[in-house]
Amino acid sequence: MDQGVASGDGIRGPLLACRNVSKYFGALAAVRDLGFDVSPGEVLGIGGPNGAGKTTLFEMISGFNAADSGEIVFDGEPITGWTPERICHRGIARVFQMNAGFDTLSARENVILANYFGATNRVIPGLRFSRESMDRADQSLEVVGMADKRHVACRHLPVLDRKRLMIASALASEPRLLLMDEPVGGLNPEEIADIVAIVGRLPALGVTLIIIEHVMRFLVQLSTRVMILHHGEKIYEGSAAGMIRDRTVVDVYLGEGTSTRLAHFLSAKAGDAGPAASA
């Protein structure tokens, strides 16, 4: 992807830049001196063993747990140390690893709330939702294929629909960058294909993506570039095709079996026009 693409505010350069970012828990360096850029329109896939620091990186970018050192720049503006709501209002949304939602509210009410509080700052909430909030919620439910379930209470939705609802809620906050933490964890292959189709639609809607995932087929299918973390440090950044040939990545993360299976998967995909073809 061209690094020089102009982003939403007309600023040329990366949409997100992390520079020498570190996070320590006591003596443990969960993320150490990490640097990378994400261009507008990209889908960056992040992999790595458990405990590699992937979620901690999302915690820092989304402001839930501030970086100890380094700088995070979003669309040309340093956001290091900002509160999560300020970061969300500026255009970064997050889909969590665990399913989150307001159980007693309907799918539509969940998404309306996400738009109402996520898209702009509301110090004093109003008494009713605007037509704009409701329209945006309906559009987001449409994108994830849940328009027909909008009146179902969140607690009655099966796991796949709760995942879709979380994506719809994140979209309703009108993000330019969406962080997804293991979006297909616990899903079967059919359900994973469903999420692939939804996530595949997002770049065309102007949403740049960073996706953490252990299901490597999912990751390489959607990513324009991948980054692998190990012990809080970057051990690989580049194409999916390069990753499966990278000795360190194969040794510490993928293993020979997965690497070989991914090689077959990528070559089978090479004839398609999907993102994996250029990965």
What b-and-e string marks burial along 85-99, b requiring 16 or more CB atoms within 10 Å of the CB?
eebbbbbbbbbbeeb
Considering the complex, what minimum distance in angstroms separates the CB of residue 55 from ligand ADP?
3
Nearest CA to 87 among 97, 77, 96? 77
Give the one residue of 7, 55, 133, 221 binding Mg ion; rule: CB under 5 A: 55
- Say how far apart CA 279 and CA 101 lie, in whole Å: 34
Considering the complex, what minimum distance in angstroms separates the CB of residue 200 from ligand ADP?
24
Placement of tokens 């639609």 in the chain: 201
- Say how far apart CA 238 and CA 4 lie, in whole Å: 18
Stretch that binds Mg ion, among 21-29, 54-62, 193-201, 214-222 (CB under 5 A): 54-62
Stretch that binds Mg ion, among 16-24, 52-60, 117-125, 192-200 (CB under 5 A): 52-60
Q: Give the list of residues 6+ apart from residue 275 with CB closer than 8 angstroms, or none.
A: 43, 200, 221, 222, 223, 224
Considering the complex, what minimum distance in angstroms separates the CB of residue 38 from ligand ADP?
18
- Say how far apart CA 87 and CA 63 lie, in whole Å: 7
Considering the complex, what minimum distance in angstroms separates the CB of residue 96 from Mg ion?
10
Q: Which residue is nearest to Mg ion (CB)?
A: 55
Residue window 206-225: x/- pattern of binding to ligand ADP, with contact defined by CB under 6 A: --------------------
C-beta of 48 vs 101, nearer to ligand ADP = 48
Considering the complex, what minimum distance in angstroms separates the CB of residue 31 from ligand ADP?
7
Of these partners, ligand ADP, Mg ion, none, which one is at the site of residue 52 (CB under 5 to 8 Å by kind)?
ligand ADP
Of these partners, ligand ADP, Mg ion, none, which one is at the site of residue 209 (CB under 5 to 8 Å by kind)?
none
Of these partners, Mg ion, ligand ADP, none, which one is at the site of residue 275 (CB under 5 to 8 Å by kind)?
none
Q: How many CB atoms lie within 10 A of CB 200?
A: 14
Q: How many residues bind ligand ADP (CB under 6 A)?
A: 11
Residues 5-64 that bind ligand ADP (CB under 6 A): 25, 28, 30, 48, 50-56
CB 75 within 8 A of CB 5: no
Which residue intervals of the chain are DSSP H helices? 54-61, 84-90, 107-118, 131-143, 159-172, 189-201, 216-222, 240-243, 247-249, 255-269, 275-278
Considering the complex, what minimum distance in angstroms separates the CB of residue 137 from ligand ADP?
30
C-beta of 54 vs 176, nearer to Mg ion = 54
Q: What is the largest CA-CA distance in the chain?
A: 58
First to last CA, the chain: 11
Considering the complex, what minimum distance in angstroms separates the CB of residue 56 from ligand ADP?
3
Q: Which residues bind Mg ion (CB under 5 A)?
A: 54-55
Q: Which residues bind ligand ADP (CB under 6 A)?
A: 25, 28, 30, 48, 50-56
